[in-house]
Structure 1
Amino acid sequence: MKLVILDRDGTINYDSDEYIKSPEEWRALPGALEAISRLNHAGYHVVIATNQSGLGRGLMDVAALNAIHKRMNKQLAAVGGRVDAIFYCPHAPTDACTCRKPMPGLLEQIAERFGLDLQGVPFVGDNLNDMKAAEAAGCVPHLVLTGKSETLRGQPLPSVFPAGTAVHTDLQAFVDALLKKSLEPAL
């Protein structure tokens, strides 16, 4: 099974320090939905792994989160794309759970649900916590310079990031690189 795991806020959609709490606040980043559609059409399953501490902080409820995801899925469908599953951590940072990134719990749940070893599976996110979770779960970390990492554009990647973290301008650039690599003949 060809699988790509994506973070949500800052990777697929604009992020906010005030949290995305309603469907009206959810806005896709330019080209992100089309990038997911391209993955689907190339035979990839796409799964989202996202921290949603707005739930644990009482800023929204599960119904609001479901409405946000309904909006995202509707917009994805309009461009011929889909996500196969959404895994989220509902906890606040102080809850000391194992599913909040940088812990690998969400990714381990994905591995269990799909019966996969995540070794070599690309995980795409916009911050250090995403990259640490990817590394801990055996995924290949891919950083997009959108969302929280936008400030890193034009700079060398800080040494706190896992070795081998691939850097891409945005989700479209990641998809371009992945699809190009998959077309290269094996040596």
Structure 2
Amino acid sequence: MNQAVFLDRDGVVNEVLTSRVKFVNKPRDFYLLKGVGESIKCLNESGFLVFIVTNQGGIGLGYMTESILETIHIAMREKLAKQGAMIDDIAYCSHKPNSDCPCRKPKAHMLHTLADKYSVDLHQSIMVGDREPDILAGKEAGCRTVLVHSRSKQTYGADVIFDDLKRALPWILQHKS
């Protein structure tokens, strides 16, 4: 079985709700957070599969289309590749917030789907997110959980809390089996 790190996208991999960008609805709005490329490259080299699991309710709300989301993800992959990093796969929920669909975090459907596709042991894997739905999805899937960049003082039951992915990296690497 494989071991994976599941990363929420907005707020973990890229900027969101900053002075430069509010939401990522176009490729030009996509800015990697500092240290993310280096961190993902290290995860790749350590043998983790690296996945993005992201709620993209902007599609359901009409702020962007799935084809625009695809161009955003191409831009993300290109920016990461320039730093020697790669994402193994991306899962997203395009439904509106509060739609109670089976794929939207805090439900764990996206994690289960990727785990089935790539023979991932969820109990040996890690979910990294910046909001409660991310942590709850990771917990529901049976993963260890890391909260980063929290805009709240809540911990949401995360196993550990770090300022960003780069600072979480040593803890994640300690759990590589």
Superposed pair shares fold, TM > 0.5 = yes
- 1:62-94 C-alpha deviation (Å, 9 max, x unpaired): 111111111111111111100000000010023
**Gap runs ≥5 in structure 2:** none
Superposed CA RMSD: 1.8
How far apart are the structure 1 equivalents of 2:63 and 2:38? 30
Shift in Å, 1:21: 0.4
How far apart are the structure 1 equivalents of 2:56 and 2:175? 32
**Gap runs ≥5 in structure 1:** none
Deviates more, 1:73-82 or 1:110-119: 110-119
Q: Which runs of 4+ in 1 moved over 4 A?
A: none
Deviates more, 1:111-120 or 1:124-133: 111-120
Shift in Å, 1:50: 0.3
Counterpart for residue 15 of structure 1? 16
- Give the TM-score of the pair, scaled to structure 2: 0.90
Partners of 1:3 and 1:45 within 8 A in 2: yes
Counterpart for residue 172 of structure 1? 166
Counterpart for residue 35 of structure 1? 39
Counterpart for residue 4 of structure 1? 5
- Give the TM-score of the pair, scaled to structure 1: 0.86
Shift in Å, 1:112: 1.7
- 1:14-163 paired onto structure 2 within 5 Å: 14-16=15-17, 18-144=22-148, 146=149, 149-152=150-153, 157-158=154-155, 161-162=156-157
Select the structure of larger CA radius of gyration: 1
**What is the SS of the residue equivalent to 2:54?**
strand
Shift in Å, 1:104: 1.1
Judged with a 3 Å threshold, the aligned counterparts in structure 2 of structure 1 residues 60 and 120 are, in CA distance, closer, same or farther, namely same
Shift in Å, 1:182: 5.0
Residue identity opposite 1:165 in structure 2: D
- 1:147-179 C-alpha deviation (Å, 9 max, x unpaired): xx1343xxxx54xx22x5211110001112222
How far apart are the structure 2 equivalents of 1:133 and 1:9? 16
Percent identical among aligned pairs is 35
Residue identity opposite 1:35 in structure 2: S
Q: How many residue pairs are counted as aligned between the two chains?
A: 173
Residue identity opposite 2:42 in structure 1: R
Residue identity opposite 1:175 in structure 2: L
How far apart are the structure 1 equivalents of 2:135 and 2:77? 25
Partners of 1:123 and 1:140 within 8 A in 2: yes
How far apart are the structure 2 equivalents of 1:43 and 1:53? 31
Partners of 1:19 and 1:54 within 8 A in 2: no
